[in-house]
Amino acid sequence: METQAVNLVIARLLGKIIEQYPPHQWIKTEEAFPHPYQFNKVSYDYSGEVEPMTLETFQDLVNKIGNNHWYSSKFEELLHNIYINQWVPTFTSNFGKHWQCYHDLLFDAYNDWKYTHFELYDEDGNELDEELENNLNECFEDFMHQTSPELYVKKMIKLWWR
């Protein structure tokens, strides 16, 4: 399968995510709870909360992307900083919720597509085509590194704030 075809699949998956999930922002919070093992001791959860993103907050986020060096691209940074109103448990003390972001959803949707359309493992979990899987994973990473956020920013503004 050619890279352009995979990029088109990824772009369509992201388009569906943008249309389905209104953008939210993560808000830092401290939630007190009784310590489960020590009487009269209070512990805190720092998972935070999410709230719907305003146009102003979104534009501020877009203007600031590129300042965090741990992301491979501005596009990846944007996707990691747009949350949805869903979380998964972390099973980590004092940080019980991981709020889902657009990047999480896209990564999961891409893996679902990948494993549905390609026979990469047999029924026992043995890898059948490591090279193909590596190439498909590379396509996702390249899409993250090479895609400009501009088109997706315009789509989100048009869909959620105009």
The domain total for the chain is: 1
> 28 lies in a domain?
no
The pLDDT score that the predictor gives to residue 61 is 97
Torsion angle in degrees (nearest 10) through CA of 91, 94, 100, 105: -40
> 41 lies in a domain?
no
| Tens digits of residue pLDDT in 37-79 | 788 888 877 899 999 999 999 999 999 998 888 899 999 999 9
pLDDT band at 27 (very low <50, low <70, confident <90, very high): very high
The pLDDT score that the predictor gives to residue 125 is 87
> 48 lies in a domain?
no
> Up-side HSE of residue 158: CA atoms within 13 Å toward CB?
9
pTM of the full predicted structure?
0.89
The pLDDT score that the predictor gives to residue 41 is 84
User: Is the model's pLDDT at 119 over the cut of 80?
Assistant: yes
> 43 lies in a domain?
no
Mean of pLDDT values over 74-87:
97
Mean of pLDDT values over 21-25:
98
- Between these two residues, 156 and 120, which has the higher pLDDT value? 156
Q: Which residues contact residue 55 at a Cβ distance below 8 angstroms, ignoring those fewer than 6 apart?
A: 157, 160, 161
> 8 lies in a domain?
yes
> 114 lies in a domain?
yes
Q: State how far the Cα of 53 lies from the Cα of 100, in Å rounded to an integer.
A: 14
> 32 lies in a domain?
no
The pLDDT score that the predictor gives to residue 162 is 86
Give strand pairing partners of 27. Answer: 49
> Up-side HSE of residue 124: CA atoms within 13 Å toward CB?
2
Find the domain containing 150 and state its range: 3-23+53-161
Q: What proportion of the chain, given as a percentage, has pLDDT over 70?
A: 99
> 30 lies in a domain?
no
DSSP assignment of 97-140, as one string?
EEEEEHHHHHHHHHHHHHHHHS--B-TTS-BS-HHHHHHHHHHH
